[in-house]
Structure 1
Amino acid sequence: MPADLAVIGLGHLGLPLAQAAVAVGIETIGYDTDPRHLTEPAAGITPADIRRMLSGGFRTVTAPAELGRVRTAVICAPTPLGADGNLDLTAVAEATRTLAARLRPHTTVLLESAVQPGTTENFLRPLLEEGSGLRAGRDFHLAYSPSRVDPGSRTHGYANTPKVIGGLTPACTESAAAFYGRLTDKVVRARGPREAETVKVLETNFRHVNIALVNEMAVLCHDLGVDLWDVIRCAETKPFGFQAFRPGPGVGGHGVALDPNCLPHTGRTPGHPLRMVGLAQEINTRMPQYVIQRCATLLNEHGKSARGARVLLLGITYKPDLADLESSPATEVARRLMDLGAAVSYHDPHVLDWRVRDLPVPRADSLYEAAANADLTVLLQHHRTYDLQGLAVKAQLLFDTRGATPAGAAHRL
């Protein structure tokens, strides 16, 4: 059966798009070679959400031929960091080749994966044209739209989040605008795909750089004996020129800091590295080690050694109230604690099984009992279900890396 839309890649980008499309009545199919994306959905989408999507007409397909029967195809393949530190476009290339072999004239092809500027024109376009024999901008439409998914958010959904688009030609842009206009209240037209791709670079780096700033402020304020959390509370009352970010044990999530100087395709034009981004990455990747230093100091101040200490980690996901472990700093914190000889356990209402170095980490069934028995309890993620005031009473020693506990109830980052 033909469909209006094919979402290629049902991970943290594709599932929210498919959900939004089904919700407005667009006939949608999802193509993914990894069945875990439906049995273990990410991006705050639950199995119940999947069931509602299926009852609304959503279909998952494994036959590539289905991709040749749609009006719009959106590539949402993952682009993780490769061994060389650059974005790995392997999944994007595979998805593009699969689509290209079935591409029909007049189809609108969109890319939402996080990529470096120039990827749509210099990487995606040749693959599509070579595989289909069609010409982008003449026989089919091609555009880029940076994903703006805020997993688990109760305030920012697809409909009320403006969608940026940049097409290869003005006609490509308008075709993309017609599609996204069915999903969102506002469509923002960029001058072209490179501008749209660079929007993603700016938005992602903005987050990383500002988190790095407050992470450095956290270290400084601790050394000065200043309450950083009170500083942020006061600073965010300024009605202009300031946006509040908060420190933590590291930066998790799917969005990685991007430096356009490292373009992953041939024919790139060398530019100037974003030195601020490199510095931000350096600062943020140091935070798990800083958390360990603080843990060791707290234990020492209370007459205990990290070696043999029972340490309970609370909240191991990268974002509150989600089951997503993508790049969560909890893994690095656990590794370093294990290296010091600590006996590590965890509690997280959203994660029933956790492995570090391919070894299972014991999960606490009774939160309060585990906190009472642990030499040190470390809050790494503040899930809504945690009663931090109650935990502060039960725990022998509580270290809060999120500033979520009441003042004086715990040691804070």
Structure 2
Amino acid sequence: MPADLAVIGLGHLGLPLAQAAVAAGIDTIGFDTDPRAVSELAAGRPPVDGSLTASEIRRMLSGGFRPTTNPAELGRVRTAVICAPTPLGADRTPDLGAVADAARALAARLRPNTTVLLESPVHPGTTEGLLRTLVEEGSGLRAGRDFHLAYSPGRVDPGNRGHAYATTPKVIGGLTPACTESAAAFYGRLTDKVVRARGPREAETVKLLETNFRHVNIALVNEMAVLCHDLGVDLWDVIRCAETKPFGFQAFRPGPGVGGHGVPVDTIGAHRPLRLVELASQVNERMPRYVIQRCATLLNEHGKSARGARVLLLGVTYKPDLADCEASPAPEIARRLMDLGAVVSYHDPYVADWRVRDLPVPRADSLYDAAAHADLTVLLQHHRTYDLQGLAVKAQLLLDTRGATPAGAAHRL
């Protein structure tokens, strides 16, 4: 059965796009090579990362959304959007393996006049280089003449209901002006504003800038957190005051490490590295070690050793009020605590089972009882369900890495 749109890759980028398309009345299929994920979606069950709820998935299905593992479906659409994951490889550049696989699957079935779009985070030049080459070679068609080709950086903030797909501007850059306008016509059905970049490389670099901007500024406040602790300065109060400035400042807040799908890219192929981003990555990657240092110091100050200490970790996801654990600093913190001989347990209302080093970590059933019996409780993620004032009363020692507790109620990062 033909469809207007194929979303290739049903992860944190693909599913929200499919949701927006179905809501706009676009006949949509979702293609993924993971049969279990596809069958779960087809049964109306939400993804494990919690980015969409079961009711949202059911509404998509009732609106005509069809998840599939059948690549033949890709040859029956007018528009195909590749949303494949691109994690950093060993050389700290995006691993384009999944994008290449998606391109080959699409190319083998591509029809003339199809609009091919890429949303995955990639290094500049990927759309014109790797993607164009694979699709042209696999289809025998020519980009810009026989089919349209463009890039649009994914702009999804999982769990944030304040930024809907329709109200978030979409940047697009096409191989030709006609490619850009074809992409604009598609995204114009989904969002209130379309921003045209000069070309695919500019659009790809938008994502690079946006992601690195976040990481560099988080690194700055992470360094400020260490400095302010040494100086006896309340950084959280500093940020509260600084963000009243109506110009020239945007508030970022420190934490135990940086997680999520938006990974910083500090090396672009053979080009020179982005030194500031490289340094920011080093700062952010040190934060779990700094949290361990603070844990050990707090225990020592209260006459306890890390060896044998009962440590309760609160919130192991990368983002509050979401089940997604992608690149969360919690596993590294747990591993380092275990290396010191601590007995680690956890609580997270969104994570029923959590494993570190392929071993299950005990989950606390009664939060307050667990905090009362732990030698140290560490807040790693501030879920709204946590009553931090109550926890501060119950816990023997509470280290708040998110600055969420009332001043004086806990030790803050």
TM range (shorter): over 0.9
The separation in 2 between residues aligned to 1:366 and 1:336, in whole angstroms, is: 25
- 1:259-279 deviations in whole A, cap 9, x for unaligned? 3x432xxxxxx4332100000
What is the 5 A alignment of 1:95-114?
A: 95-114=102-121
Contact 1:13–1:43, Cα closer than 8 Å, also in 2: no
**TM alignment of 1:392-411, pairs within 5 A:** 392-411=392-411
- Counterpart residue number, 1:382: 382
Match of 1:303, SS state, is: coil
Q: Is the 8 A contact 1:12 1:43 kept in 2?
A: no
CA contact (8 A) 2:117 2:152 kept: yes
Q: CA-to-partner distance for each residue in 1:76-119, whole Å, 9 max, x for gaps?
A: 00001123322111110000000000000000000000000000
State the 1:157 CA deviation: 1.4
- Distance (Å, rounded) in 1 between the aligned partners of 2:381 and 2:217: 19
- Contact in 1 for aligned 2:35/2:69 (Cα 8 Å): no
Distance 1:133 1:364 in 2: 58
Is 1:168–1:193's contact at 8 Å kept on the other side of the alignment? yes
- Residue 72 of structure 1 aligns with which residue? 79
Distance 2:272 2:68 in 1: 43
**Separation in 2 of the partners of 1:72 and 1:153?**
27
Partners in 2 of 1:42 and 1:68 — Cα distance?
29
Task: Quote the Cα distance in structure 1 between the aligned partners of 2:345 and 2:191.
Answer: 43
Aligned equivalents of 2:337, 2:292: Cα separation in 1: 7
Map of 2:197 onto structure 1:
190
Do residues 248 (structure 1) and 258 (structure 2) align? no
Q: Measure, in 2, the Cα distance between the counterparts of 1:361 and 1:55.
A: 38
Aligned mates of 2:67, 2:251 — CA distance in 1: 41
Whole-angstrom distance in 2 between the partners of 1:59 and 1:195 = 33
Deviation, 1:37, is 3.6
- Supply the AA of the counterpart residue of 1:44: S
- What secondary structure is seen at the aligned counterpart in 2 of 1:159? helix
For the residues of structure 1 that align with 2:313 and 2:338, how far apart are their CA atoms?
12
**Which residue, 137, 147, 168 being the options, matches 1:140?**
147
3-state SS of the aligned residue for 1:29?
strand
Q: TM-score, structure 1 length as denominator?
A: 0.97
In structure 2, the residue matched to 1:130 is 137
1:262 to 263, 268, 271: 268
In structure 2, how many angstroms separate the alpha carbons of the residues matched to 1:276 and 1:36?
41
The amino acid of 2:130's aligned partner reads: F
Aligned mates of 2:262, 2:17 — CA distance in 1: 17
Inter-partner Cα distance in structure 2 for 1:36 and 1:279 = 39
The runs of 4+ residues in structure 1 deviating greater than 6 Å are none
Counterparts of 2:384 and 2:85, CA distance in 1:
29
1:11–1:37 Cα contact (<8 Å) kept = no
Tell me the equivalent position of 1:207.
214
The alignment's TM-score, normalised by the length of structure 2, stands at: 0.97
Q: Which runs of 5+ in 1 are unaligned?
A: 264-269
Distance in 2, matches of 1:33 and 1:280, equals 35
Q: Residue in 2 aligned with 1:266?
A: none
3-state DSSP class of the match of 2:166?
coil
In structure 2, relative to structure 1, the CA distance for the partners of 1:42 and 1:16 (3 Å cut) is farther
8 Å contact 1:106–1:140 — kept in the other structure? yes
Q: Take 2:330 and 2:203, find their aligned partners in 1: how far apart are those partners?
A: 33
Alignment match, 2:233: 226
Which residue number corresponds to residue 156 of structure 1? 163
- More displaced, 394-403 or 42-51? 42-51
CA distance in 2: counterparts of 1:258 and 1:284, whole angstroms: 13
1:62 shift after superposition: 1.6
Question: Structure 2 regions of 5+ residues with no counterpart?
Answer: 41-46
* Gap change, CA 1:294 and 1:36, over 3 Å in 2: farther
Query: 1:221-260 CA distances to partner (integer Å, 9 max, x unpaired)?
Result: 000000000000000000000000000000000011013x
Shift of 1:314: 0.3
Aligned residues: 406
What is aligned with 1:171? 178
> Which residue is 1:319 aligned to?
319
Paired residues of 2:330 and 2:380 also in contact (CA < 8 A): yes
Deviations 1:19-78 (A, max 9, x none): 111111110000001134453343621222212111111001221111000000000000
Specify the code of the residue in structure 2 equivalent to 1:365: D
Query: Percent of aligned pairs with the same residue?
Result: 84
2:54 is matched with 47
- Counterpart AA for 1:338: M
Please say if residues 79 and 114 of structure 1, whose CA atoms lie closer than 8 Å, have aligned partners that are also in contact.
yes
2:356 alignment counterpart: 356
Q: Answer whether contact 1:112 1:145 (CA < 8 A) is retained.
A: yes
Distance in 1 separating the partners of 2:157 and 2:256: 20
Match in the other structure for 2:346: 346
Report the 3-state secondary structure (helix = DSSP H, G, I; strand = E; otherwise coil) of the residue aligned with 1:245.
coil
Separation in 2, partners of 1:343, 1:43? 29
Deviations 1:274-296 (A, max 9, x none): 10000000000000000000000
User: What is the aligned-residue RMSD (CA, Å)?
Assistant: 0.9
Asked whether the 8 Å contact 1:355–1:361 carries over to 2, the reply is: yes
Structure-1 separation of matches of 2:325 and 2:52: 14
Conserved 8 A contact 2:92-2:265? no
Q: Indicate if the aligned counterparts of 1:81 and 1:87 stay in contact, CA closer than 8 A.
A: yes
